[in-house]
Structure 1
Amino acid sequence: MNSTVLEEDGFFAFSHLSPGNYTIEVKHWGKIVYAKNWDLKEDIDLGEIKVAVEKEIQQVTVTGNKKLIERKVDRMVFNVENSVFSSGGDVLDLLKVTPRVKVVNDQIELIGKSSLKVMVNDRLIPLSGDDLVNYLKSISSADVKNIEVITTPPAQYEAEGNSGLINIQLKKAKKDSWSSTIRTSYQQGFYGYGRAGGNFNYNKKKLTLGVSANYGNGLSQGIEKRKVFYPSQLWNEKDVGKYYENSVNSRFVVDYQLTPKWNTGIQYLINYSNPHSNSNDQTRLCAYGKKLDSLLQTHNHQESISRLNSVNGYSHFAIDSLGRKLKVNFDYFNYNKENEINYFTNTYDDTMKRIYSYFPVENRGTLEINNYSGKVDMEYPMKNIKLEYGTKVSFTKTESGLKNSRLKNGNSESTNKDNFNYTENTQAVYISVNKELKKWDFKAGLRMENTQTCGNSKITHQKNKNNYVKLFPTFYALYKANDNNSYSLSYSRRIERPDYNSVNPFRYYSNPYSYSEGNPFLKPILSHNIEFSYDYKGMLQSTFYYLIIKDSYSLLTRIDENNYIQYTKSENYFNTSAYAIYERFSYNKLKWLQASVGAIGQYLYTKSQAYPVTPKSQEGFYVQFETTNAFVFDEQQNYSSGFTYYYSTPSKSGDIGNGKEKNQLDLFFKAQVFNKKMQISLNINNILKDYDYRVIKIRNGIKSYNRGYYDSRYIRLSLSYKLGSSTIKTKNIEESNAEEKNRIH
């Protein structure tokens, strides 16, 4: 259901409606004074509506049933309001049943993409990792209208990354109302972890306010195992870590409707994190055929503090009644991090007698990133086409300092240090044209980005500059054969620039035999993406995609069999091509069941530019399968339960590694009580404890087996309670759009 209010001249309009049957109602003081059914197939002018009342019309409402899944020319829309998952959970629960989205152990992936970005009401959220997950958990599923999955972002969005976008559209705030939610959760894995938070929303006349805050504190365990098969020795390593988490994030939004056609506002996000860890690493050195030659024991302690502050100011102007809009945005974010890692290593013989002690080593690092950007977008619909164009400028400055010291009697005996500055400035312009022809819908765009980068090491006096101009075309075609069948085709060219840490050449040691360093000569990655999709009734989606990636970079580990040194560096060392078929079926015809089944089969070919450090090439085929089933126990949908299952065959990774088979089973139970004001959920995650990191790699002809488990089997109990009051008096305030980039890792 959509609603709007009349302008002073009596004009009203609804945009972005899907074809279907609709009922238009005109209400006057809550009484229906006009109603008529319309079969909407294309844009339509309703003409003059006459009603037999003397007072002014207060509200117009359009109601209709949408499909669970809708296909638009440049995106797929999951209409959450038609799902049983629309209440009793949070946004992360919704993403678990969203097509093309995979959520495993609170890690969000977009199938077929190496990364993703998340927006809320068209506004990019500059958070990642656990910070992003905690923020999404603060949004109730009942507040979500739909979720847009954009696997091929249009020209208006930055061309950064082989990534897609997830745009979470929230329901409009009720008029003259306030609402609030408080929540808490406790998670028990090997250790315990607790979270608490709340949000408050207020709407009065022309003013809208929104505040949210979340706090998390607790422990988790990580176990990493590695076997390195040297020609004369086996190094068998096990690292057990205890990780402490302590984080706070908040979001503040103010929006004001200056005139019926002009609204402005500001958004401020703050995130603070203070994690630390202790780990014990034990490496057994064994000659083949012998139990133990010697033993290395390393004790590691790490502490860090990170802070993020992000400010966005915006103004949106509706120029006329034809839908022409001007959007102006200014953004700033500051990120700084302080990190300290200390380790101490002892060597023992086969009788466990200590034979050597390495001096303690202290690594200290600082990182500060400042970004300023401005963006102007214009939506200009014309008689036969819809035109969009705009420009953006971005200025980024990164300053990092690193120092490692060998300590003796608590004092620094020898020190290596560096200060590295990195700047990146980008100017972009774009244009996009959309045209509808009966059953066809076409969209084409072109984005040009001009980038200047400069990296400068103050200690080594190494300075690297890189200037380049790139064009990024996009194309879409959608054919709706009828109400039940649609076909779509898309193409895009994209770029992925190195993150700010990867270009820093400073060397960081984790133990006497292992270190890593950045690479100031890293080149950006270029990719080409082609997708063809078929949709049947919003229930069945079939997608074929083809992907080419050139000059991919990743961490490349070299292993020296003579001194057993393992050193890692970011390098552009492989090209990748992939073919894949994705199938998904959704079923929601029964009131007591909603189910989805998805599977992807992918062929991956990778050619290395780092031979003989790595094999010359690698190719292979793998299959992933997932299903989510929810069972509802009552007509009011107050009680439900279900399960999610994932399975993956052995796979090939783009950086020339071989992944092992894995599967995961999760259970959940949800209840809504006290007139649906309180929500209770119980989640049991990774029951089989078989969804961990397991990869085999060959470097310099030496085989290594790597495995990692990060406390993903747990039980979590969550509670939330809603408060709110509303009295309809004034008109709605529209949510706004914004975009901002972030490559913090």
Structure 2
Amino acid sequence: MQRIYMYTLVLLLISTSTIAFAQRAEVAVQGKVLASASKAPVDFANILLLAPADSSLVSGAVSDATGAFHLTIPSGDYILQVKGLGYKPYTERLTIPSGKSELTLPAISLSEESVQLQAVTVSAKRPIIARKADRLVFDAEQLSLGAQNALDVLKQTPGLNVSDDGISVIGKGNVIVLINDKRVHLSGKALVNLLRSYTSRDLGQVEVITTPPAKYEAEGNAGILNIVLKKPKNDFFGGSLSTGYRLIKGKSGGNVSGNLNYKQGKTTASLTAGYDRWVYAGGFATEKTYPSTQLYSESATDMLMKSRGLNLRATFDYDFRPDFSMGLSCSYSPDGGKVIRDNDTRDYDLPAKTLKKYALGTDTEESDGGYLATNLHLEKTFPAHPGRKISWDFDYVFSNSKTDDDFQAESFTPQKAVIPGSDFVYSSHGTKRANSFLTNIDFTLPIGKAQTSFGIKGTWSHTENGLHYKRHTEPLLNGRREDISFDEHIYALYADASLPLSAKWTSRAGIRLEYTHNAGTQDGQGRLNLKDYLNVFPTLYLGFTPNERHAFSLDGTVRLERPGFFQLSPFPRYENQYTIMKGREDLRASKQGTLTLGYTLGGKLNFSAFGKYRWDGITQFIELDAVTNQAQYLFGNNETEYAWGLSNNYYFTALSFLQAYLNQSVQYTKSKVRNDEGKGWDNEMLSYTAGINATIFLNHAKTLTANVNAEYGTPRIDGGFKIGQSFRASAGLAYALLQGKLKLSAGVYNLFIKEFTATTTTGGNTIVARNYTTPNILNLGITYSFGAPIRGKQARGNADDVRSRM
């Protein structure tokens, strides 16, 4: 029945789009807004057509990333008004002649706003923070002072947590990452390596999309991060080379990367490559207390991790005609590594804490895998009908991994004698292969004053997981093979509409329907307990901008987070013989609704009040056995969470030698964790976080900079666990030479740090986890950028030929 419902909606959408495209406005007006000095496009400028009699709003539009705008209006006389943040307002009288179906206006040039103070003229800069209809936009050029690559820029972007394992929004979770509005189907270290290969000069702006339009996947509880690269200059060839060195507790590693950019005529192309190899030494500990059996156990694990990764990405764009273009991209990221864990677990009798026994174990895990992602994009615009656009995308994503795991442990008496029959052996070979095909078609259509978009998308994924127990202490598992396959099909319909309500009020609303079909088998037989479901994801935005300095917004959205591979895999993973982690194949996606009220002042000061509700939250439920001291970490849709909070951030630029970003947030969280049997625990807590990221200019030319970053957090709740107080600080130096083409950098991460702790109580038993050896990391880096106009090079070559002949 649900499939019939979805197919009916598809037919209705297509028929509606056909009727809408058949409509014809009286006059289609289009134009472009440019900065007068640089001739760069001005995006998000407000274009307003006012009635001459009373200056009431007749129609309006917002310029896109290329500065283009379009609207449909009857012929007649109007007042044209154009406003952009950091620019002087532009006003002129405009006559739309009758008898024409379309009109192209000359380019509109906006001058930077300036203020005369006695004999000194101060020109307004583009704001560091701009609040737009669905996102916060950060000027990458001002963020990147002292930064070496795109990853460094993101580390200085407010609200983001960037590490070698990925990118997330502080206190909210993982994000979907886009580059130039196209999703990057990479994650973890592969994504980090890709971003490290782009220099800071390549970035134009960073957009944190807090209320994503309906065309984007509903995935990602924290929203979407869109990295906008600067558009290459015409007739240009150039690129950059980077290398870095890392030292962690006496273990060295490094990375090298480069990119090339080419644009001539109708062709634009780029090639990015990077290689990363590093070693990490760390560790963690757990403490378990069982009052019922008077048992206390402590376990310490030291880890040595070696990792390597290659990243290749190529893009090609071609404009067949001004109204028809094609884009191709391909990413390939093989990686591998080795992890050695040495574990020491000791059991004590309480209350005297007398040693009862101890176990020593070693786990060696080797892995190889990689990602392959391709995209084909076609786009058609309609010059006779400005604002109308059709685009089509096709994606193919492939990932695979192979893991060999070998664990051996033995238990001893306090007198160091081996306990007979206590040996534990586990050896396995695991595989994973996933293929995904994605396609979507999107329509953009102006209807009156509103700008609408709608589309349809399908995703088909097939995953095969296998595990061979080559050796196992348990006779039932020794030599056993298990194979599980998953099929997931997602069909989506979506629509958005943006409407300027007046010169100061804007609105946007959208809805996305997703139908998900799941199927699976185990060992080639038996259908897994999977369910189909239909979800509705609404989005809403209302903005009020009384003038260029003030911006208010109210937005609401519903998002989801799908389970990852290890959360779905039912195969056990061992920290030691006392700690087992298992996934669950029938996990549902967790969902979260968020409502946010925001205010931005002068592009530097920002406040946000928010409330969120999460249900079907994916978290681990811990089952502790007081007799055997075994802890099982079982993934499930166990958590329901409520949270309310207030966040504030401010960019300080009053001193010429200092630029600092300060942020703070206070949040009340209430969490309830329950397993299928209704067992669990409740937590609630008020938490506070604060941070500063300061760039200090050490010379007048601002080519020598120092950076200091510090973060502090009170105890908080995360995934049903109580997280302890946290603090960390990092510092670095950067020096730019050759007009910024050569950059040298040095930094120490985790210069000061407090160990991470997590605590929970289940069934009267308490478990505490500690990350006790987060190390200091020394980073050294060099980046060189190069490039020149192609025609300029040809001209120099022709001149050399003439001189040779003479």
* The two structures share one fold, judged by TM-score above 0.5: yes
Q: Tell me which residue corresponds to 1:576.
A: 641
Query: Does 1:193 find its partner at 2:253?
Result: yes
Alignment partner for residue 16 of structure 1, among 23, 37, 43?
A: 43
1:650-693 Cα offsets, whole Å, 9 max, x none, are 1122x321111111111111101133221011111111132x43
In 2, Cα distance between equivalents of 1:139 and 1:578: 36
Which segment is superposed worse, 159-168 or 617-626? 159-168
In 1, Cα distance between equivalents of 2:472 and 2:372: 35
Alignment partner for residue 148 of structure 2, among 89, 95, 103?
A: 89
Distance 1:102 1:567, change over 3 A: closer
Deviation at 1:575, TM superposition (A): 0.6
Distance 1:619 1:307, change over 3 A: same
Structure 1: state its 5+ residue gaps. Answer: 1-9, 21-36, 49-57, 731-745
Whether the aligned pair in 1 keeps the contact of 2:143 and 2:157 (CA below 8 Å) is no
> CA RMSD for the aligned pairs?
2.8
In 1, Cα distance between equivalents of 2:587 and 2:279: 36
Whether the aligned pair in 2 keeps the contact of 1:220 and 1:710 (CA below 8 Å) is no
Which amino acid counterpart does residue 784 of structure 2 have in structure 1? Y
Which amino acid counterpart does residue 584 of structure 2 have in structure 1? N
Whether the aligned pair in 2 keeps the contact of 1:220 and 1:711 (CA below 8 Å) is no
Task: Trace 1:583-732 onto structure 2 (pairs within 5 A).
Answer: 583-610=648-675, 615-653=680-718, 655-690=719-754, 692-709=755-772, 711-727=774-790
Whether the aligned pair in 2 keeps the contact of 1:363 and 1:508 (CA below 8 Å) is no
In 1, Cα distance between equivalents of 2:726 and 2:375: 42
In 2, Cα distance between equivalents of 1:375 and 1:400: 28
Q: Tell me which residue corresponds to 1:472.
A: 537
In 1, Cα distance between equivalents of 2:330 and 2:434: 17
In 1, Cα distance between equivalents of 2:91 and 2:376: 35
Q: Tell me which residue corresponds to 1:80.
A: 140
Q: Tell me which residue corresponds to 1:259.
A: 321
Deviation at 1:105, TM superposition (A): 7.0
Task: Trace 1:440-589 onto structure 2 (pairs within 5 A).
Answer: 440-458=505-523, 461-589=526-654
Deviation at 1:281, TM superposition (A): 0.5
Percent identity reads 23
Which amino acid counterpart does residue 592 of structure 2 have in structure 1? S
Deviation at 1:518, TM superposition (A): 2.0
Which segment is superposed worse, 460-469 or 586-595? 460-469
Partner SS, residue 134 of structure 1 = helix
Q: Tell me which residue corresponds to 1:287.
A: 349
Q: Tell me which residue corresponds to 1:350.
A: 414
Which amino acid counterpart does residue 275 of structure 1 have in structure 2? G
Deviation at 1:616, TM superposition (A): 3.6
Distance 1:77 1:273, change over 3 A: same
1:405-435 Cα offsets, whole Å, 9 max, x none, are 3269xx9992232110101001111111100
Q: Tell me which residue corresponds to 1:210.
A: 270
In 1, Cα distance between equivalents of 2:445 and 2:304: 55
Deviation at 1:316, TM superposition (A): 1.2
Which amino acid counterpart does residue 687 of structure 1 have in structure 2? L
Q: Tell me which residue corresponds to 2:115.
A: none
In 1, Cα distance between equivalents of 2:569 and 2:425: 24
Which segment is superposed worse, 488-497 or 177-186? 488-497
Partner SS, residue 527 of structure 1 = strand
Task: Trace 1:62-77 onto structure 2 (pairs within 5 A).
Answer: 64=112, 65-77=125-137
Deviation at 1:619, TM superposition (A): 0.5
In 2, Cα distance between equivalents of 1:352 and 1:460: 48
Q: Tell me which residue corresponds to 1:308.
A: 371
In 1, Cα distance between equivalents of 2:185 and 2:691: 29
Task: Trace 1:97-112 onto structure 2 (pairs within 5 A).
Answer: 97-103=156-162, 108-112=167-171
In 2, Cα distance between equivalents of 1:705 and 1:340: 29
Deviation at 1:11, TM superposition (A): 8.1
Deviation at 1:47, TM superposition (A): 6.6
Partner SS, residue 686 of structure 1 = strand
Distance 1:449 1:613, change over 3 A: closer
Q: Tell me which residue corresponds to 1:27.
A: none
Which amino acid counterpart does residue 226 of structure 1 have in structure 2? T
Deviation at 1:335, TM superposition (A): 0.4
Which amino acid counterpart does residue 414 of structure 1 have in structure 2? N
Partner SS, residue 274 of structure 1 = strand
Query: Does 1:40 find its partner at 2:83?
Result: yes
Whether the aligned pair in 2 keeps the contact of 1:613 and 1:700 (CA below 8 Å) is no
Whether the aligned pair in 2 keeps the contact of 1:84 and 1:594 (CA below 8 Å) is no
Deviation at 1:459, TM superposition (A): 6.4
Alignment partner for residue 481 of structure 2, among 409, 417, 424?
A: 417
Aligned residues, how many?
693
Q: Which has the higher contact order (CA 8 A, sep 6+)?
A: 1
Which amino acid counterpart does residue 398 of structure 1 have in structure 2? T
Which amino acid counterpart does residue 283 of structure 1 have in structure 2? T
Whether the aligned pair in 2 keeps the contact of 1:274 and 1:305 (CA below 8 Å) is yes
Alignment partner for residue 270 of structure 1, among 328, 332, 335?
A: 332
Give the structure-2-normalised TM-score.
Answer: 0.82
Q: Tell me which residue corresponds to 2:205.
A: 146
In 1, Cα distance between equivalents of 2:678 and 2:298: 21
Which amino acid counterpart does residue 364 of structure 2 have in structure 1? H
Whether the aligned pair in 2 keeps the contact of 1:242 and 1:277 (CA below 8 Å) is yes
In 2, Cα distance between equivalents of 1:413 and 1:19: 66
Q: Tell me which residue corresponds to 1:322.
A: 386
In 1, Cα distance between equivalents of 2:781 and 2:641: 42
Which segment is superposed worse, 113-122 or 263-272? 113-122
Deviation at 1:387, TM superposition (A): 0.6
In 1, Cα distance between equivalents of 2:396 and 2:91: 41
